[in-house]
Amino acid sequence: MAGNTIGKSATKLLSVLLLFFAVETIVSAQEKVKIDFGPKAGPNVSVLRGIRPFEGMRKPVFGLCAGGFFNVRAIKSRFQFEMDLLFTMRGNKADYLNLNSEQDETKSINVSYLEVPILFKYLIGNGKSMRASLFAGPAYAGILRATYNNGNIKNRITNDIKRDDLGIIAGAGLTWFYLDRWYFLDVRYFHGFINTSDLITKNMDVFNPNLPREITEQDPFKKDIANYYNSTLSVTFGVSLSRQVNLIR
């Protein structure tokens, strides 16, 4: 079962990559199209939220995202199309009182994804070498690894979490041209729509309020706190490796 799921995730990622290179081939044949591609990386912070706003949140987990981007736009247009391929870290953690040792301890869940956002950007302002932008678009993430950490003990729970995550990304950025290079800085928020905890049993209990299980099973409202969705805020910095010409108009 796990092998079939991994195969499906790999097929989806391969399809996206094929689309990526198809778009690159098409737009490269156009003389009035600006193409940028290169590496990007930065820090992020994430939590697992419940169905209702701020429900189920505990302490955030800090991580990083790194990968590459591909950006296309017509020279005289304010609209851009961007596709990224990113390794991104997400998770959640909580402090609790160990009744046996009577000491405070921390448990956490750390999940690594391969994320593919498809973003539509709009450039703001008339600067020739610097502009701000707003962007939004869907994003697919395929799980790579997940661990449940209790102190120094780490348990791999990759098969206990939904392998595919879908969400939407929105944010703002800044693009500037300096010393024959294009640079990109953006702040983005990922809002996941897939309940990652569908397959999780005991591993998520640490993030639930201290309610007897029979109460949560009888009360649907309280039971909803067992649902967890990814929320991630990222800051990424990128530099273009394509032909460096100032083409902002």
pLDDT of residue 3: 42
What is the spatial distance between Cα 113 and Cα 196, in angstroms, rounded to a whole number?
A: 12
**2-239 classified as CATH 2.40.160.20:** yes
Question: Would you state the structure tokens that stand for residue 42, as one six-digit string?
Answer: 């930065």
How far is CA 119 from each of CA 84, 116, 167, 192, rounded to the nearest angstrom?
8, 10, 12, 15
Of the candidates 137, 148, 155, 134, the one whose C-alpha atom is nearest the C-alpha of residue 106 is: 148
Assign 44 to helix, strand or coil. strand
The pLDDT assigned to 243 comes to 61
The domain limits of the chain are 2-239
Q: Which two tokens stand for residue 29?
A: 């044949």
What is the spatial distance between Cα 41 and Cα 18, in angstroms, rounded to a whole number?
23
Residue 170 scores a pLDDT above 70:
yes
Closest CA to 106 of 92, 127, 121: 92
Q: pTM for the whole thing?
A: 0.76
Output phi, psi for 55, to 5 deg. -85, 135
pLDDT in tens, 16-37: 655 655 555 555 555 577 788 8
pLDDT band at 159 (very low <50, low <70, confident <90, very high): confident
Give the whole-angstrom CA distance, residue 224 versus residue 13.
31
3 state DSSP class of 58: coil
The band of 60, judged by pLDDT with boundaries at 50, 70 and 90, is confident
